Amino acid sequence: MLDLILYELRRSVARKKVISLIAITVLFEVGTYVALSQIRSPRIEQLISPIQPLLWIAGVLLPQSLLLHFIAISIASGSMSEEYEQGTVDFFLTKSITRLKFGLSKLIGGYILVISIYLLMVLLAVTLSELLFGVQTDLSYLPSLVGSVIFSSLTFFGVAFMAGELLRRSSLAFLVSSSVLIGSILIGAVLIFVARLTNDPIFNSIAIALPSWGATELPFLYASSIPNASLIVQALEIFPAIPGTEADAIVLTLGYAGVAFILSFMSLLSRDIPKRIS
């Protein structure tokens, strides 16, 4: 199984799309901290000065809003679908490899790659915040915060993996998964607006039940417990906040990811395997 996981990592990294994602990751983190360090407005400097020791949180949380989910979608949507398009699924399954083992290896390998790209972001965030803004504090919260981000990425990684297996077309799987992400965010924003107009909590409950809420909110909910981090959290949370708990976010993430993975493997184990999909 390890050989298959390594194969998935090598195959994914060899794709120009993944190399581009890594380059975007580096530019994103470096650009964020360079921009913050070059701000000379007295008002902005007055705001940043008290939170300089916590600016590592900005680089850890900022990708969580959208970038990390698009990275997960990009990798997971092509994991199975590209094998069908290239006809390599049929080749692997002629060997002494079960469908379950093949699918699990693809899933684990893809998820390891998502984690690796995010950990590169975290490394850059901590290093650049130390270099540009001095000694950082409360780094004891870093492992748990990073863990919450990695965990929350499971939702759309699972949705994209399922789309790739069910649709067996990488471009279509990416489009569908991205539409689910953006669509649920937009619908959630509308529901929050309606909830505030009507004072009816049912609309907030529906917004929380959408796949985007647990996937984007869990790390922000955890980061809110870090002392003196509220200003950073509020500044980075680009979508309207919805009342909810960490337990809600964990249950929803497990629910959406679990259903997506179950449907993926039901399809893989039961459907015919084509030699190649053009």
The answer to whether 270 and 261 are in contact (CB under 8 A) is no
CA distance 6 to 8: 5
Note the pLDDT tens digit of each residue in 231-269.
788 777 766 667 778 899 999 999 999 999 999 999 998
Q: Structure pTM?
A: 0.89
Sequence-distant (6+) residues with CB within 8 A of 204 are 191, 192, 195, 242, 243
According to the model, what pLDDT value does residue 157 have? 96
Q: Considering only CA atoms, which of 67, 37, 226, 219 is closest in space to residue 140?
A: 226
Q: Considering only CA atoms, which of 66, 65, 89, 69 is closest in space to residue 77?
A: 69
Phi, psi of 271 (to 5 degrees): -85, 155
The answer to whether 51 and 228 are in contact (CB under 8 A) is yes
pLDDT band at 135 (very low <50, low <70, confident <90, very high): confident
Q: State the DSSP string of 232-262.
A: HHHHH--SPP----HHHHHHHHHHHHHHHHH
Note the pLDDT tens digit of each residue in 21-45.
788 888 888 887 887 777 766 776 7
CA distance 232 to 5: 37
According to the model, what pLDDT value does residue 240 have? 62
